[in-house]
Amino acid sequence: MNFYPYPAVAISKQKNGLIAADKSSLQSFWQKVDSLYGEDASSGVGCYVFSIRAGKGILPWYVGLAEKQSLRKECFTPHKINHYNNAIAARKGTPLLTVIPKYTPKWSLSSPNPSGHRDIQQLEVMLIGNCLTRNKSLLNLRDTKLLREMVVPGLLNSPKGKPANEVQEFKELLGL
Protein backbone atom coordinates (compact mmCIF):
# COMPACT_ATOMS: atom_id res chain seq x y z
CA MET A 1 0.00 0.00 0.00
CA ASN A 2 1.41 3.31 -1.11
CA PHE A 3 0.19 6.85 -0.57
CA TYR A 4 1.55 10.08 -1.96
CA PRO A 5 0.68 13.57 -0.63
CA TYR A 6 0.38 15.99 -3.52
CA PRO A 7 0.67 19.78 -3.15
CA ALA A 8 -2.38 21.63 -1.88
CA VAL A 9 -4.69 23.11 -4.52
CA ALA A 10 -6.63 26.33 -3.92
CA ILE A 11 -10.42 26.06 -3.84
CA SER A 12 -12.38 28.89 -5.47
CA LYS A 13 -14.56 31.08 -3.29
CA GLN A 14 -17.82 32.86 -4.08
CA LYS A 15 -18.13 36.64 -3.73
CA ASN A 16 -19.55 36.11 -0.22
CA GLY A 17 -16.32 34.34 0.76
CA LEU A 18 -17.76 30.82 0.99
CA ILE A 19 -16.66 27.80 -1.06
CA ALA A 20 -17.66 27.88 -4.72
CA ALA A 21 -19.38 24.50 -5.01
CA ASP A 22 -21.17 24.92 -8.32
CA LYS A 23 -20.59 22.33 -11.02
CA SER A 24 -18.31 24.55 -13.10
CA SER A 25 -16.08 25.55 -10.16
CA LEU A 26 -15.70 21.97 -8.97
CA GLN A 27 -15.00 20.71 -12.47
CA SER A 28 -12.29 23.37 -12.83
CA PHE A 29 -10.82 22.40 -9.45
CA TRP A 30 -10.57 18.70 -10.36
CA GLN A 31 -9.13 19.50 -13.79
CA LYS A 32 -6.40 21.47 -12.03
CA VAL A 33 -5.75 18.60 -9.60
CA ASP A 34 -5.50 16.08 -12.43
CA SER A 35 -3.27 18.31 -14.57
CA LEU A 36 -0.91 19.03 -11.66
CA TYR A 37 -0.52 15.38 -10.83
CA GLY A 38 -0.26 14.23 -14.43
CA GLU A 39 -2.93 11.59 -14.01
CA ASP A 40 -6.59 11.12 -13.18
CA ALA A 41 -5.97 11.42 -9.41
CA SER A 42 -9.55 12.58 -8.85
CA SER A 43 -10.83 9.11 -9.78
CA GLY A 44 -8.70 7.44 -7.13
CA VAL A 45 -9.25 6.89 -3.42
CA GLY A 46 -7.30 8.01 -0.38
CA CYS A 47 -7.33 10.77 2.22
CA TYR A 48 -7.62 14.52 1.96
CA VAL A 49 -7.05 17.53 4.19
CA PHE A 50 -8.98 20.79 3.94
CA SER A 51 -6.88 23.71 5.19
CA ILE A 52 -6.69 27.49 5.07
CA ARG A 53 -3.58 29.42 4.09
CA ALA A 54 -3.30 32.81 5.77
CA GLY A 55 -0.54 35.11 6.99
CA LYS A 56 0.85 32.62 9.50
CA GLY A 57 0.99 29.64 7.15
CA ILE A 58 -1.39 26.76 6.51
CA LEU A 59 -3.71 25.42 9.19
CA PRO A 60 -5.66 22.14 8.76
CA TRP A 61 -9.41 22.26 9.47
CA TYR A 62 -10.82 18.93 8.30
CA VAL A 63 -9.46 15.48 7.42
CA GLY A 64 -11.48 13.06 5.32
CA LEU A 65 -11.25 9.82 3.43
CA ALA A 66 -12.55 8.48 0.16
CA GLU A 67 -12.66 4.71 0.00
CA LYS A 68 -16.05 3.61 -1.29
CA GLN A 69 -16.22 6.36 -3.90
CA SER A 70 -13.62 8.49 -5.65
CA LEU A 71 -11.99 11.59 -4.22
CA ARG A 72 -13.91 13.62 -6.82
CA LYS A 73 -17.25 12.36 -5.50
CA GLU A 74 -16.36 12.44 -1.80
CA CYS A 75 -14.48 15.69 -1.14
CA PHE A 76 -17.28 18.14 -1.96
CA THR A 77 -20.43 16.47 -0.68
CA PRO A 78 -22.85 18.92 1.00
CA HIS A 79 -21.75 17.74 4.46
CA LYS A 80 -18.08 18.48 3.64
CA ILE A 81 -18.87 21.87 2.09
CA ASN A 82 -20.66 22.80 5.34
CA HIS A 83 -17.48 21.97 7.27
CA TYR A 84 -15.34 23.98 4.87
CA ASN A 85 -17.69 26.96 4.95
CA ASN A 86 -17.78 26.90 8.77
CA ALA A 87 -14.00 27.11 8.79
CA ILE A 88 -13.61 29.77 6.10
CA ALA A 89 -16.53 32.01 7.16
CA ALA A 90 -14.89 33.16 10.39
CA ARG A 91 -11.43 33.90 9.00
CA LYS A 92 -9.52 35.28 6.06
CA GLY A 93 -7.38 33.15 3.86
CA THR A 94 -7.28 30.83 0.91
CA PRO A 95 -9.06 27.48 1.24
CA LEU A 96 -6.92 24.55 0.09
CA LEU A 97 -7.38 20.85 -0.45
CA THR A 98 -4.50 18.40 -0.19
CA VAL A 99 -5.18 14.95 -1.61
CA ILE A 100 -3.22 11.87 -0.62
CA PRO A 101 -4.18 9.18 -3.14
CA LYS A 102 -3.61 5.48 -2.53
CA TYR A 103 -1.57 3.52 -5.05
CA THR A 104 -1.17 -0.17 -5.78
CA PRO A 105 2.27 -1.76 -5.29
CA LYS A 106 2.95 -1.03 -8.98
CA TRP A 107 2.04 2.67 -8.46
CA SER A 108 -1.27 2.80 -10.29
CA LEU A 109 -4.20 4.53 -8.58
CA SER A 110 -6.32 2.36 -6.31
CA SER A 111 -10.03 2.17 -7.08
CA PRO A 112 -13.08 2.62 -4.87
CA ASN A 113 -14.18 -0.52 -3.05
CA PRO A 114 -17.67 -1.03 -1.57
CA SER A 115 -16.04 -2.88 1.35
CA GLY A 116 -13.70 0.02 2.07
CA HIS A 117 -9.93 0.17 2.50
CA ARG A 118 -8.57 -0.52 6.00
CA ASP A 119 -5.29 1.25 5.25
CA ILE A 120 -7.09 4.43 4.19
CA GLN A 121 -9.11 4.34 7.42
CA GLN A 122 -5.91 4.00 9.45
CA LEU A 123 -4.20 6.82 7.56
CA GLU A 124 -7.18 9.07 8.26
CA VAL A 125 -6.90 8.42 12.01
CA MET A 126 -3.17 9.19 11.91
CA LEU A 127 -3.75 12.40 9.95
CA ILE A 128 -6.49 13.51 12.36
CA GLY A 129 -4.13 12.97 15.28
CA ASN A 130 -1.40 15.02 13.63
CA CYS A 131 -3.78 17.77 12.54
CA LEU A 132 -5.26 18.02 16.06
CA THR A 133 -1.79 18.84 17.37
CA ARG A 134 -1.70 21.78 14.94
CA ASN A 135 -5.30 22.90 15.33
CA LYS A 136 -7.32 22.11 18.46
CA SER A 137 -10.40 23.45 16.59
CA LEU A 138 -10.21 20.76 13.90
CA LEU A 139 -13.76 20.15 12.67
CA ASN A 140 -13.56 16.35 12.73
CA LEU A 141 -15.67 14.93 15.56
CA ARG A 142 -15.94 11.19 14.86
CA ASP A 143 -13.19 9.18 16.57
CA THR A 144 -11.52 12.29 18.05
CA LYS A 145 -12.74 12.17 21.68
CA LEU A 146 -9.76 10.15 22.91
CA LEU A 147 -7.31 12.16 20.81
CA ARG A 148 -8.67 15.41 22.26
CA GLU A 149 -8.57 14.17 25.89
CA MET A 150 -5.44 12.02 25.98
CA VAL A 151 -2.25 13.72 27.20
CA VAL A 152 1.13 12.25 26.27
CA PRO A 153 3.78 14.94 26.88
CA GLY A 154 5.93 15.34 23.80
CA LEU A 155 3.46 13.57 21.54
CA LEU A 156 -0.16 14.53 22.12
CA ASN A 157 -1.73 17.52 23.89
CA SER A 158 1.55 18.43 25.58
CA PRO A 159 1.33 20.82 28.50
CA LYS A 160 2.69 24.31 27.89
CA GLY A 161 6.18 25.18 28.96
CA LYS A 162 9.59 23.65 28.54
CA PRO A 163 9.42 19.85 28.39
CA ALA A 164 11.22 17.81 31.04
CA ASN A 165 14.40 16.00 30.01
CA GLU A 166 12.63 12.63 29.75
CA VAL A 167 9.94 14.17 27.54
CA GLN A 168 12.60 15.71 25.29
CA GLU A 169 14.31 12.30 25.09
CA PHE A 170 10.95 10.70 24.20
CA LYS A 171 10.44 13.26 21.40
CA GLU A 172 13.91 12.49 20.03
CA LEU A 173 13.14 8.76 20.17
CA LEU A 174 10.05 9.38 18.02
CA GLY A 175 11.86 11.77 15.68
CA LEU A 176 9.66 14.75 16.61
Residues 166 and 94 in one domain: no
- pLDDT band per the 50, 70, 90 thresholds, residue 39: confident
Regarding whether 120 and 102 lie in a shared domain, the answer is: yes
pLDDT band of 5, cuts 50, 70, 90: very high
pLDDT above 70 covers a percentage of the chain that reads 100
Per-residue pLDDT reduced to its tens digit, 86-116:
999 988 899 999 999 999 999 999 999 999 9
Q: Are 94 and 28 contained in the same domain?
A: yes
Same domain, 14 and 72: yes
Number of domains making up the chain: 2
For the cut 90, the answer to whether the pLDDT of residue 63 exceeds it is yes
Q: Please tell me whether residues 44 and 68 are part of one structural domain.
A: yes
The CATH number assigned to the domain holding 106 equals 3.40.1440
Same domain, yes or no: 105 and 19: yes
Task: Please indicate, yes or no, whether residues 139 and 157 belong to a single structural domain of this protein.
Answer: no
In terms of domains, do 132 and 176 share one?
no
The reply to whether 133 and 173 lie within a common domain is: no
- Say if residue 57's pLDDT is above 80: yes
**What pLDDT score does 72 carry?**
96
pLDDT band at 138 (very low <50, low <70, confident <90, very high): very high
62 and 19, same structural domain? yes
Domain residue limits at 57: 2-143
| pLDDT for position 10 | 96
Residues 21 and 101 grouped into a single domain: yes
Whether residues 134 and 157 fall in one domain: no
HEC secondary structure over the chain: CEECCCCCEECCECCCCCECCCHHHHHHHHHHHHHHHCCCHHHCCEEEEEEEEECCEEEEEEEEEECCCCHHHHCCCHHHHHHHHHHHHCCCCEEEEEEEEEECCCCCECCCCCCCCHHHHHHHHHHHHHHHHHCCCCCCCCCCHHHHHCCECCCECCCCCCCCHHHHHHHHHHCC
